[in-house]
Amino acid sequence: MGCCRWYLVVGLGLGTAATGLIFILAWPNIFDILVSEEKSLLPGSALYKEWRRPTMHPSWQFYVYNWSNAQAFLSIPQEASTASFQELGPYTYNEYTEVIDVKFHQGNGTLSYRKRTFFRRNFIGTQPQVITSVNFVALLTSHLARNMDYSLQREMSFLLHNYRQDVTVTRPIGHLLFSGQREPMLEQMRKLLCTDKNLGALCQDERLAYFRTFNVSRRPSEIYSMDIGMHDRSTYGIVRSWGSTVHRKASNAIQPCDGFEDLTGELFPSRLDRGKPITIVLPELCRRLTLEYDEELLLDGIMGYRYTAHLIRPFSTEMVEASGMTSCPEMSIRLGRYGMLNSNECNGLPLYESEPGSYSNQSDGNRRQLYYVLEPTTGTVLESYIGLAYHTDLRPNEHIALFQNVPELRVPLFRFDRYYRLGEPKAAKLRQLLHLLEVGHQAALAGCAVGITLVLLTAIYACWKSRKPSKNRNDEYSIIGMQLRNDGRSDQLMK
């Protein structure tokens, strides 16, 4: 019976250890399934609702540049270094997005949708509300006229004169950045410029501002298609830009000028490998970023990987160069239809990204430090920062009377810092999920330890028991040595 008990204890220990080992090996896969459920974007899920109507809104801080000596500089020819620009700000805005026209495609596990973005001012501080800057409408007219026939250029010059346009304007901040202002001249320009072959941002029925966020019309973006990782978890969050497919011969063939197929910085796959760089596209800013691992960072009790953008370039330029093409054919989707910035990269307008450190008012620590902090197990964005600056170029134009005698000058317009931080409710939920991962590992390790301990204790006890002397008093026989005596009887008998 004793041996049977030992065998039972040993079997129990081995079974416990084996179960713990199996659980250790299987727990990551089990946890990944739990994470997939939490990250599910199937219609009706919690994340799907949050994705369509985000409750966390990135904060934007804008800094604009007031041309303080514009009249004196333009009235008398001077050196470019004498132009004086005063940085004003920050002007804080909150970004609001909404996803519309969503369709779920069961066959390939994707969501097709459109997106709307708009901004709301957060009135903090007492910064000046009106600034003097270059007249973007007049500058755009001169910019577009460079590639036109002489007769059309002269007609554009007369339009500027008839509508009493000047090289500079004094406008409220909100008008310059977002809402724009009704310009009767733009209607005449559209009649001259907007043909079937030219349907850029100027030809859209909206007010002209630096950001085309559709604060007035609330028009949606292009059609996007996002993979939700149903068939392959590594493709989770990859967004494809399809645009117009009317002229495509093969709907499945993606050409370099048709759009993009990348992560967009909102959703990332799970189980990030910090040794592999991450490429993302910011379609609204017309930028492709290459993120490389920088360091581990603790945010709100969550350990994350900090990725820094080491390569920043317009994604349209990269796609055209990759294909060996100098421009996209007319039948392909126009890259200018992307983006909420009316920049040269997005919409071909004379708004250019400035080089790092081009503005002296920016400190060395805040010059174009683009980074993302990602939780590596779930791929959750803990924090992100994007900072860019933009300028325009003032150049003389002999065919446009208003710009015949202007000096060449680079005019700083604005810069912004876009900051996002995961909210505390979501951070608390993420901490609970990661704690479950840790608890599962600890439980599995504890099971292995308990099983191995039982086996070792049983072996030690059995070894000790076999070497201990027996003290059992119920033995039936005890052999004792004795001597037989006959008191001399044997001698008498022999006699």
pLDDT at residue 325, rounded to an integer: 40
Cα 230 from Cα 232, distance rounded (Å): 6
Per DSSP, the three-state class of 104 is: strand
What does the pLDDT look like over 217-251, one tens digit per residue?
667 777 899 999 988 889 999 998 864 433 334 44
pLDDT at residue 310, rounded to an integer: 79
What does the pLDDT look like over 449-478, one tens digit per residue?
655 665 555 656 556 556 656 555 454 555
pLDDT at residue 18, rounded to an integer: 54
pLDDT at residue 323, rounded to an integer: 41
Q: Which of 28, 49, 7, 13 is nearest to 434 (CA)?
A: 28
Q: Radius of gyration (Cα) for the chain, nearest Å?
A: 38
Take residue 302 and report the two structure tokens written for it.
């969550």
For residue 254, CA distances in Å to 243, 251, 259, 265, 321 come to 11, 8, 8, 21, 15
Residue 24's pLDDT band (boundaries 50, 70, 90)?
A: low
- Within 39-135, where are the H helices? 46-52, 70-75
Give yes or no for residue 31 having a pLDDT over 60.
yes
Mean pLDDT to the nearest integer, 191-195 = 76
pLDDT at residue 470, rounded to an integer: 54
Cα 267 from Cα 374, distance rounded (Å): 10
Between 31 and 373, whose confidence is greater? Answer: 373
φ/ψ of residue 263, rounded to 5: -70, 150
Take residue 427 and report the two structure tokens written for it.
């951070």
Q: Which of 235, 311, 269, 280 is nearest to 384 (CA)?
A: 280
- Residue pair 234/217 in contact by the 8 Å Cβ criterion: no
The H or E element containing residue 23 is helix 2-38
Q: Which of 33, 63, 449, 42 is nearest to 228 (CA)?
A: 42
Take residue 265 and report the two structure tokens written for it.
């910085």
Give yes or no for residue 425 having a pLDDT over 60.
yes
pLDDT at residue 166, rounded to an integer: 94
DSSP-derived secondary structure letter, 246? T
The H or E element containing residue 279 is strand 278-282
Specify the range with the lowest mean pLDDT, choosing from 45-54, 190-199, 230-239, 282-291: 190-199
pLDDT at residue 345, rounded to an integer: 77
- How many angstroms from the chain centroid is the CA of residue 83? 38
For residue 299, CA distances in Å to 170, 172, 366, 460 come to 43, 38, 20, 48
Specify the range with the lowest mean pLDDT, choosing from 83-87, 128-132, 448-452: 448-452
pLDDT at residue 11, rounded to an integer: 56
Torsional sign, CA 446, 451, 456, 457 = positive
- Residue pair 258/91 in contact by the 8 Å Cβ criterion: no
Strand partners, 387: 417
Helices and strands (DSSP H and E) totals, the chain? 11, 15
Residue 296's pLDDT band (boundaries 50, 70, 90)?
A: very high
**Degrees to nearest 5, angle at CA 68 with 62 and 71:** 130
Q: Which amino acid is at 228?
A: I
Residue 77's pLDDT band (boundaries 50, 70, 90)?
A: low
Which residue's structure tokens are 């001077």?
Answer: 78
Per DSSP, the three-state class of 473 is: coil
pTM to 2 decimals?
Answer: 0.79
pLDDT at residue 331, rounded to an integer: 34
pLDDT at residue 480, rounded to an integer: 52
Mean pLDDT to the nearest integer, 249-267 = 65
Which residue's structure tokens are 């950001």?
Answer: 211
CB atoms within 10 A of CB 456: 12
Cα 201 from Cα 349, distance rounded (Å): 8
Strand partners, 179: none
Take residue 28 and report the two structure tokens written for it.
């990551």
Cα 259 from Cα 225, distance rounded (Å): 11
Specify the range with the lowest mean pLDDT, choosing from 119-133, 255-269, 443-457: 443-457
How many residues comprise the chain? 495
What does the pLDDT look like over 303-352, one tens digit per residue?
999 999 876 777 654 444 444 444 444 433 344 455 788 888 777 789 99
